[in-house]
Amino acid sequence: MKNMARLLLAALLLAVSPLIAQTPAQVPASAPAPTPAKTWFVRLIPPRPTFAQDMTPAEGALMDQHFSYWKDQNTKGVCLFGGPVFDPKGAFGILVLRAATLEEAHAIASADPSVKAGLNRIEVAEMRLALVPRKP
């Protein structure tokens, strides 16, 4: 029984020793680490201050597509949260999303159907998320 245990140990050491003896040059290169995602603040700027009160049916249809797009981004974990801000000077939208770069964040926000159609404009800035939204 002891001989069997010694034989198994010797076989294990023979199998593992080439792995232990590898130098860093022999270890296969792994893929580069992904760039960590940053947090981005997106301000969605409507075409006029009264937009929330007087949008046309066509504009309303685009805003439905806008909502569906961001709901999907939220489901994917890209958009952390967002919604309209009812400022007395004129409503606007805010979104907070995760992306590796400003260019990526801008591309995600620019893919919003209401932005692609030229209805809304966007401003994108890096944001350091200090307090995470909690469920009410």
118, 46 Cβ separation under 8 angstroms: no
**What is the percent of the chain where pLDDT is above 90?**
68
Residues facing 81 on adjacent strands = 96
For 28-61, write each residue's pLDDT tens digit: 566 666 667 899 999 999 999 999 999 999 999 9
Q: How far apart are CA 84 and CA 110, in angstroms?
A: 17
Domain layout of the chain by residue ranges: 38-127
SS3 78: coil
CATH number, domain 38-127, options 3.40.1050.10, 3.30.465.10, 3.30.70.1060, 3.30.1600.10: 3.30.70.1060
Quick one: which H or E segment has residue 18?
helix 2-21
Question: What predicted TM-score, i.e. pTM, was given to this entire model?
Answer: 0.72
